């Protein structure tokens, strides 16, 4: 089930159902059971309650071991968002880092449609599906790169999961020289969400304030914000 379809379903559930029903455990349980293939349902339903009490190792292991329907699709991004991102990359850029690169779908797409030298960074030991990009394991809270190391930095469907957001945003800006792209859902807060999200951005202003880059554009593309910050260091 691709991202555009799941975004449409989420929009209907989050905006058309009464909150007392939408955020009821009994109502959401079947959705969790299906989405997570019948595994660790209590853990995932209680995730927001326990997330801030976990050690960093415990928190990371939950993400490394998730098996859900989301992992049956090639990417969490919708194609219109990907195309918009690629079309708006600074034409003078030569290098790009994708933080939270996952299985590398975005990096592979960028590699096929640009001449950029690309690098991926995530929590995995390796990403075997990368075609052209180099890969380095690391955490968004302490990226293993020098200041201004990349002309462009992208980070998609990552910041909504983070417990220590200011430090992560500072790291993304530290290693970016020209542009910072952030993609995150346009989503209201509910306790029971199928996505382990801790940060929610129902309006663009929340995201713009969080990232705090003076020159920016933030557009809603099929249920996801695509934020483009111009750094020009």
In the structure, what pLDDT confidence band is assigned to residue 232 with cuts at 50, 70 and 90? confident
pLDDT at 92: 96
In terms of pTM, does the model score above 0.85? yes
Mean pLDDT of 22-28: 98
Contacts of 39 (CB under 8 A, 6+ apart): 67
pLDDT at 222: 92
On the question of pLDDT at 2 being above 80, the answer is no
Domain assignments of the chain as residue spans, ordered by start: 3-72, 79-230
In the structure, what pLDDT confidence band is assigned to residue 1 with cuts at 50, 70 and 90? low
On the question of pLDDT at 3 being above 90, the answer is no
pLDDT at 187: 95
Q: How far apart are CA 224 and CA 227, in angstroms?
A: 10
pLDDT in tens, 213-229: 999 999 999 999 999 99
On the question of pLDDT at 130 being above 80, the answer is yes
pLDDT in tens, 154-165: 999 999 999 999
> CATH fold of 79-230, please?
Rossmann fold (3.40.50)
pLDDT in tens, 27-57: 999 999 999 999 999 999 999 999 999 999 9
């Amino acid at each position: 089930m691709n991202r555009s379809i799941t975004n449409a379903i989420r929009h209907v559930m989050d905006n058309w159902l009464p909150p007392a029903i939408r955020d009821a455990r009994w109502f959401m349980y079947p959705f969790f059971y299906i989405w997570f293939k019948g595994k660790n349902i209590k853990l995932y339903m209680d995730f927001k309650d326990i997330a801030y009490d976990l050690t960093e190792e415990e928190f990371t292991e939950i993400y490394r071991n998730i098996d859900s329907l989301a992992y049956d699709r090639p990417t969490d991004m919708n194609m219109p968002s990907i195309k918009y991102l690629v079309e708006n990359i600074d034409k003078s850029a030569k290098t790009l880092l994708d933080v939270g690169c996952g299985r590398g779908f975005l990096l592979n797409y960028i590699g096929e449609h640009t001449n950029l030298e690309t690098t991926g960074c995530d929590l995995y030991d390796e990403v075997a599906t990368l075609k052209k990009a180099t890969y380095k394991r690391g955490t968004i809270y302490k990226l293993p790169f020098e200041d201004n190391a990349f002309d462009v930095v992208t980070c998609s469907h990552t910041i909504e999961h983070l417990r220590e957001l200011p430090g992560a945003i500072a790291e993304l800006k530290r290693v970016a020289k020209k542009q910072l792209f952030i993609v995150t859902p346009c989503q209201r807060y509910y306790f029971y969400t199928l996505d382990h999200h801790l940060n929610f951005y129902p309006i663009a202003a929340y995201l713009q304030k969080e990232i705090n880059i003076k020159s920016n554009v933030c557009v809603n593309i099929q249920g996801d914000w695509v934020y483009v910050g111009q750094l020009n260091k």
